[in-house]
Structure 1
Amino acid sequence: EAILLDLKHHNLLISSRGRSGGYQLAAPPEAISFADVIRALDGPLALAPCASKTAYRPCEACPDVATCPVHPALVAAREAVAAVLEGWTLARAARESPPFQIS
């Protein structure tokens, strides 16, 4: 229930009350990416706050992000992860995934 509420709070799900109530997607599955879901549940995709686009803040251990030798690698990693996760939508996952089987 907590996960569903987090997704609702981030406008990925809508809920309805009553006997026929429940949760449904707030947008078509083609419009909801894995990046959207991960950001809603876990926060920014970046490995460090100094590399985040949505929640930037300087790292405590780094005196100057402009001269940090690790910062470019962290930004590149965030860009690569974002490119993959933003390219995978719920529709794509449903279309390309093998059928789920309970053994």
Structure 2
Amino acid sequence: MADIDDKTAAEAFRRLVSHLQMRDDAQNVDLMGLAGFCRNCLADWVSEASDGALDRQAARHAVYGMPYEDWKARQPEATAEQLARMDASLALNEKLRSQAG
């Protein structure tokens, strides 16, 4: 990551957020099950990186492009299969974190 300057990283981040806003068919539970992170994780990272300038709700609004509650109300309930994949992916996150250091 040291090879990527802040301007380039910021533009890529904005593009990722825009893409996630456009693809509201990609549910958070599916993102978690496949990649081990979701929009909420991204918003948490934004909030943490802001050093207090953005609280969790403000960061979620920025990532979702709308109030989180509005976005969540439009999403279908997660299936048992989706939740199982998410749980397995979260366990993998923990395993990889512990191996990394």
Asked if Structure 1 and Structure 2 have the same fold, meaning a TM-score greater than 0.5 normalized by the shorter chain, the answer is: no
Which structure has more helix as a fraction of its residues?
A: 2
Q: TM-score, normalised by structure 1?
A: 0.26
Select the structure that is richer in strand. Answer: 1
Higher relative contact order (CA 8 A, sep 6+): 2
What TM-score do you get using the length of structure 2 for normalisation? 0.26
Larger Rg: 1
